[in-house]
Structure 1
C-alpha cells in the first residue's frame, strides 16, 4: 500500500533543494492487522489529510492511536498532519513515539529525519538518514540519499552532500533533485563541463527554473559558448 502523506513530506524537501520529488511510500512494518479498526482509522485519516481536511484527519488518527497506542504508522501520520499545520511540538512528540514503537523501521526513521531537517536539526537528521540506509531491505535508498544531500546542502556541507547525490543517481539516474543540486555544486566548484552535463540531463526531465537557467547561462559563458549562453538568456527573459 502507498500513502500520499509521505509524498507530501518529501515534496517539502524538493522545494528546499530547488530554492537553495515526490516519491512512493512503503508502509512501515510496525502495524496491526490491515483490517483492524485502528488501521481503518489510519487510512481514513490519510484520506482526509490528502483532501486537506486536517480536523477530520486529526480526529481519525487520534482515534487510531486510542485503539492501538503503539501503532507507529498512526503516530507518524499524525506527526505529519501536525507538522503541516505548523504545530511543531506536537509533531515532534508523535515522531518520537513512532520511532519508539518502530525503532528499526526504515520508513519511520526516514520520516523523522525529514522532519528534523525541516526543523533545522541537520546533524540529528543525518543520524536518522544513516540509520535508514543501514537497513539493507529498504526499497528506495535513493530517496534517502537525496534527502540527506539536501539536508547537508542546507548545512553547507557540500562535499558530503555531493556524495549522497551521486549515490542517489547511481541507483536512479533520473533523480531530479540530485541532478539539480549536482549542477549547482559543480558550477560553484568551477567544474563547468560537469555542470553542463547535469543541466542537460535535468533539462531532459523537466523545464529549467530561473535559478537553473541562470546557472546554465553562466556555465556556457564560462565555456566560451556564446550561442548556447544566449539561448538560456532568452529563456530567462521569457520568465521575467
Structure 2
C-alpha cells in the first residue's frame, strides 16, 4: 500500500507536469496550450491518457497511448518521462532508463523528470545517483513543488541508512508543505528513534489531523503512546491498526508484541 501511494505521488508529478514523485502533471515546459501545434496537442492528450492508465495499473494500454503521443510528436518530453515510469513498474530497467534520459535530453530544465528519474534510481538502490537527480530538480528556482523531490530524497536516504541526512531534506519539505503525509511520518520516525518523543508526537498528530490513517502511521502512534505511557492513545491506535489493516506487517508486529 505504501508503495502504491508513493507511486501516485510520482504520477501526480507526471500529469500536472507543472506539478515527488509518483498525480499526473504535465511538464512545465514553456509551450502554452494556446500556442501548441496540432501535433503537440495530440501528444499532450495521449500522454495524459497514458498517465491515467498507468495510475490504474493498466500498463499495456498506457504504453499504447504513449506510443501514440510520440507518433504525433517524437520530441514531446513528458511522454518519454511517463514511459520511463511505466517501464520502471514493469521492471524493464533498460527501456526505463533510456526513456528517462531521452526526456531529460529534451527538457533538461524539467525538475519533475529529474525527480521521477531520481526515484527510479532510488528503487534500484543507486542512492548516490538518485540524490544527485533530486538535487538537480531542487536547483531549479522555478520548480513549483520542491516538497516532492525533498520528500523523495529523504525517503531515499532512509533506505540508504542515512537518517541524519534524510532529516534535513524532510524538514525542508515540511517548510514548503506542512501537511505532506510521507514527510510527516518519516520525520516522526526519525525523531522517535532519536528519543525526541514530543516532537515525534506533534508530527504524527498533525498527520492524523490532515491525512487518512496508514498502517505505518498507526504503528508509530502505538509505539509513541507506549513510550509516553499513554495507554488510551496506545489502545486507540492499536484498535484502528487491527481493524483497518489486519494483514499489514505492522499489525503482525503489534500482535506479536514486537514494539522495538
Deviation of 1:7 (Å): 6.9
> In the alignment, is residue 92 of structure 1 matched against residue 94 of structure 2?
no
Deviation of 1:150 (Å): 1.1
CA contact (8 A) 1:112 1:125 kept: yes
Segment of structure 1 superposing worse, 70-79 or 115-124: 70-79
SS of residue in 2 equivalent to 1:204: helix
CA contact (8 A) 2:77 2:104 kept: yes
Runs of 5+ consecutive residues of structure 2 not aligned to the other structure: 1-5, 13-20, 247-260
Runs of 5+ consecutive residues of structure 1 not aligned to the other structure: 1-5, 13-20
Segment of structure 1 superposing worse, 23-32 or 67-76: 23-32
After TM superposition, list the pairs within 5 Å mapping 1:162-181 onto structure 2. 162-181=167-186
> In the alignment, is residue 159 of structure 1 matched against residue 161 of structure 2?
no
Name the counterpart of 1:10: 10
Segment of structure 1 superposing worse, 74-83 or 165-174: 74-83
After TM superposition, list the pairs within 5 Å mapping 1:61-76 onto structure 2. 61-66=66-71, 68-76=73-81
> In the alignment, is residue 227 of structure 1 matched against residue 232 of structure 2?
yes
SS of residue in 1 equivalent to 2:210: coil
Deviation of 1:34 (Å): 2.9
Name the counterpart of 2:125: 120
Name the counterpart of 2:27: 27
Deviation of 1:78 (Å): 2.0
Which of 46, 53, 63 aligns to 2:48? It is 46
Q: TM-score, normalised by structure 1?
A: 0.81
Aligned CA RMSD, in angstroms, stands at: 2.8
CA contact (8 A) 2:46 2:68 kept: no
- Give the count of matched residue pairs: 227
Distance of aligned partners of 1:163 and 1:67 in 2 relative to their CA distance in 1, 3 Å threshold:
same
- Separation of aligned partners in 2, 1:108 and 1:218: 37
- Separation of aligned partners in 1, 2:64 and 2:232: 59
- Separation of aligned partners in 1, 2:165 and 2:212: 27
Q: Which has the higher contact order (CA 8 A, sep 6+)?
A: 1
CA contact (8 A) 2:147 2:174 kept: yes
